[in-house]
Structure 1
Amino acid sequence: MSKRINLMGCPVDDFDMQGTVLEAEKYILNRRQCQHVVVNVAKYVAMQNDPELKKIISSCDIINADGMPLVWASRLLGTPLPCRVAGVDLFQELVGVCAAKGYKPYFFGAREWVVEKMVDEFKKRHPGLNVAGFRNGYFDKSEEGQIAEDIQKSGADMMFVGFSSPMKENFLNRWMPVMQVPFCMGVGGSFDIIAGKTLRAPVWMQEMGMEWFYRILQEPARMWKRYAKTNPVFIWMVLRELVKKNMQTTK
């Protein structure tokens, strides 16, 4: 049985991979809607200046920690998470579940050639996969309503959104009532990884919490500024919480 912890003001579920998959499938079987989100260092920092994003994330039905720094922080602060559940790994696991059990996924995001190549890759891995539909992530805001209706008509059981944050969280929060897809998950740049546009960090770097460094190596012009800003702020947040915790225990 999972429990939800409070990690520096944001709820996080202590599911492992298997527990997350089982919980996601409950929503499909019961035809109830679930907005899933993974939180990482960048998202924690973004929430500090974006109250709406924090509100949406806190209201999500399943919240996983994507990244070892969050797991380490949870242990330092006395509310240990068992492990990370990386979004890209969960994404692939759930597509495999779709193929095995006949659920229909819908893929929304990235450039047209990326999403097409990703769908082809998944069909190669899972010949029985029944894709409800897919669409690139380039559209005008005025088109959102029609896109949501088209997704609803597709009969999808799971939906994976390949936008950046906070766009994906905002889109799902706004349009899930129209789309009526039981399980919706934002997967960020995972489409690029499956399509082969970008590479995943080696396992040893994943386990050491160094995926951010591997991303800088691949996209230095875009990524170094992001991590130069977010990593120090996250460390400061953890230290601040540690000081508060120590002050409370000494009273």
Structure 2
Amino acid sequence: MTKVLQVNLYDAGLDAAVNGLIWRCDSIWPRKNKCISATGAHGLVTAFKEPDFKNVLDSFYWNLPDGMPGVWVGKLKGAKRMTRCYGPDFFKYVFEQSADTAIKHFFCGGQEGVAEQLKEAVGQKFNNYQVVGTFCPPFREMSDNEFRELAEKINQSGANIVWIGLSTPKQERFARRLSAWTNVHFIVTVGAAFDFHTDRVAQAPGWMQKLSLEWFFRLMAEPKRLYKRYLEVVPLFIFLNLKEFLSPVK
């Protein structure tokens, strides 16, 4: 692990993360409700500003570097194997490589009907028909009783992995609360992966992703929703990391 803005980011690369997740879903491994996030600049800056959210990320098994800025900082700190573990790609490769296994999946997130659409999409796109349940969270804070009921539904489904597609920091907090009552191997937060893989939202071209310009593509696509976030996050991420390099924590 390599710290970026004092948050531990997974630094062994995307292939290792995919293979490690699939391997640890084998029946020989106990179900410990390990939480994984795909964490980009937005999540890292939020964690810097909100100590309670940093505590959430600190409790996770892995925080995958979802964006190139985190990878660049990690490499500057010596993490030579670190690569971008983009949430939608991580999701895709896990589904492709586990299609012929007994690993079962549960979808939680998106607007009404999105999780069901995603269940159909992973069958068509990745030939994976091991989705055993879906749930659309309400647009409000769920009670403990509601989390218990959801966890019971997940546990009865036999799911190994719960995929959560909300927004940061809501999805990470949701995952941590859910983990108190589930009996699964992993709970993974993947942001906009649900919308991308159901083709509800277009992804940035590969060249823009490699140049860390995906934020600009998404900003142009959804300016009203995202402009305040990126107006703050991009310059603040750069400033905070420069400050850290110039005045490293002893």
Task: Give TM-score scaled by structure 2 length.
Answer: 0.91
**2:21 corresponds to 1:21:** no
Distance 2:76 2:130 in 1: 44
Name the counterpart of 1:239: 242
Name the counterpart of 2:124: 124
- Higher RCO (CA-CA < 8 Å; seq separation 6+): 2
Structure 1 residue 128, shift from structure 2 partner: 4.9
Secondary structure (helix, strand or coil) at the match of 1:14 reads coil
Q: 1:82 to 1:126 in 2, by over 3 A?
A: closer
* Equivalent residue for 1:192, pick from 190, 195, 202: 195
**Matches of residues 57-72 of structure 1 in structure 2 within 5 Å?**
57-72=57-72
**Matches of residues 44-55 of structure 1 in structure 2 within 5 Å?**
44-55=44-55
* AA at the equivalent of 2:230: Y
Structure 1 residue 80, shift from structure 2 partner: 4.7
What is the aligned residue count? 244
Secondary structure (helix, strand or coil) at the match of 1:101 reads coil
Moved more, 69-78 or 232-241: 69-78
Distance 2:215 2:139 in 1: 29
**Matches of residues 4-153 of structure 1 in structure 2 within 5 Å?**
4-29=1-26, 30-33=29-32, 34-80=34-80, 82-138=82-138, 141-142=142-143, 143-153=146-156
Distance 1:121 1:83 in 2: 27
- The answer to whether the 8 Å contact 2:2/2:8 transfers is yes
User: Which structure 2 segments of 5+ residues have no match?
Assistant: none
- The answer to whether the 8 Å contact 1:192/1:198 transfers is yes
Distance 1:139 1:44 in 2: 24
Secondary structure (helix, strand or coil) at the match of 1:161 reads strand
- The answer to whether the 8 Å contact 2:92/2:126 transfers is no
Stretches (4+) displaced over 6 A: none
> Structure 1 or 2: larger helix share?
1
Describe the superposition over 1:205-249 as per-residue Cα deviations: whole angstroms up to 9, x where unpaired.
00000000010111011111110011111011111012114x98x
Task: Give TM-score scaled by structure 1 length.
Answer: 0.90
User: Which structure 1 segments of 5+ residues have no match?
Assistant: none
